Amino acid sequence: MPPADAPLIERDPAILKRRFKQRCAATNNVYQNWLIRVHRSLSWSIRAATLAQQHPEAELLYLWIALNSLYARWNNERNVPDQDHPSRGDFLRAFTSVETDRVIEFLRVSKPILRKLLGSPYLSNVFWRDPTSARAADLARQDVYNLDRLLRDRRADKLLNAALDRVFVFRGQLVHGASSGGSRLNRSSLESCLEFMRGVVPLLQHLVIEHGAHDDWPDLCYPPVEQR
């Protein structure tokens, strides 16, 4: 647990960036995979912070990019970026275990928004496979019934991944043109996703900054290359 007088999460990306620079200096900038991931992630969080309240859809997408920058990996067998869900799952298993108490406390504080995310049929792929089915909405809400059990069992990785799966559905609606800009129909979903992402992204950035300076990372997607 963090000290009693310390915030559970530092949400200001500028402060996180200063801490990141301190960690880079302390490790002599040798862990380039880690350094590039965090640099990319914080750059998008800083952009997202400039959009707060004005362009919520863009803010959500920028926050997702900030998150994706941390966990995306290259699949060397297929020579393409690896699939999102397994990449994200492995990342969450690794980093939720380094400060489990902090992550669990974040999830406890976030229970109201987690209930909204996990209980919304419109953020579930199960619902959209057959939205006319009478059972579709009930099936799509099944995740919310596991919330208390996952918290009790301290399965932070599974709970975070379930919530992020819901945000991923909404993110897909935006980037694939399945939503109108400023639509009133999805305001509730957008607000729930944004509230969660504004907390979970800086939490995960903190964990990676403090505990990710090592060589045990999968290969980067699209590493920087010098122009020829």
Q: Which residues pair with 81 in a beta bridge?
A: 74
Q: Average pLDDT, stretch 140-159?
A: 94
Q: Taking the model in full, what pTM does it have?
A: 0.94
Q: What is the pLDDT of residue 7?
A: 62
pLDDT per residue as tens digits for the range 2-22: 444 446 789 999 999 999 999
The Cα–Cα gap between 166 and 121 comes to 9
CA 151 to chain centre: 18
Q: What is the pLDDT of residue 2?
A: 47
Instruction: Mention every residue, 6+ apart, whose C-beta is less than 8 A from residue 85.
Output: 161, 165
H/E stretch holding 6: none
pLDDT per residue as tens digits for the range 82-136: 999 999 999 999 999 999 999 999 999 999 999 999 999 999 999 999 888 878 8
The rounded mean pLDDT for the chain is 93
Asked whether 122 and 187 are in contact (CB, 8 A), the reply is no
